[in-house]
Structure 1
Amino acid sequence: MARDPQSARERAELNFGKTQTQSLARNRIVEESEAIARERDAKTARLKEMRLQKEAEEMRAGTAPRTSKSTAKN
């Protein structure tokens, strides 16, 4: 295997550093993906709330809300 214990230690430290760097990179990617999903979900909720408010106002005004294919399914 390795004749020099110092070089074996150096290789081990380099391998550990490489593994740690890869782990940190994966964690950052996962965090970014989760943040994007949270933003998308929040935007969807805001848009749905706005649509529901608009439909409620139209109902109060006595006009039938326009329905599209996507809202007719929901």
Structure 2
Amino acid sequence: MTAPSKVSGDRAESLFSKTQTQSMSLGRIISERDAVSEAREAKTARLRELRLEKEAEEMAAASALAALPKRVSKR
């Protein structure tokens, strides 16, 4: 009677090991996906800030040019 019990126990251990490995792999995949997502969000925020800063500088330069008096040419 120990033989069927041994086979059954080995099979249960094998299935548990397989499930545990899959769970660990899934956890690693989710962790990597979250890290990539966070990196993408940080990069997007940084690029947005740079774009807004550039647009503000361009608007300031345009308003400074508009404030200059226009030259009247003499003919």
Identify whether the pair has TM-score above 0.5, normalized to the shorter chain: yes
User: How many residue pairs were aligned?
Assistant: 62
Residue matched to 2:48: 48
Q: Where in structure 1 do 4 or more consecutive aligned residues deviate above 4 Å?
A: none
Task: Report the Cα distance in structure 1 between the residues aligned to 2:55 and 2:15, rounded to whole angstroms.
Answer: 60
Name 1:69's counterpart in structure 2: none
- How far apart are residue 4 of structure 1 and its match? 2.1
Structure 1: stretches of 5+ with no match in the other structure: 64-74
Aligned pairs for 1:1-74 (under 5 A) are: 4-62=4-62
CA distance in 1 between counterparts of 2:55 and 2:48 reads 10
**Which whole-Å CA distance do the structure 2 matches of 1:52 and 1:4 have between them?**
71
Residues of 2 paired with 1:54 and 1:4: CA distance?
75
CA distance in 1 between partners of 2:32 and 2:42 (Å): 15
Q: Give the Å deviation of 1:43.
A: 0.6
Structure with higher helix content: 2
The aligned amino acid for 1:27 is G
Compare relative contact order (CA 8 Å, sep 6+) and give the higher one, 1 or 2: 1
**How far apart are residue 5 of structure 1 and its match?**
1.2
Larger Rg: 2
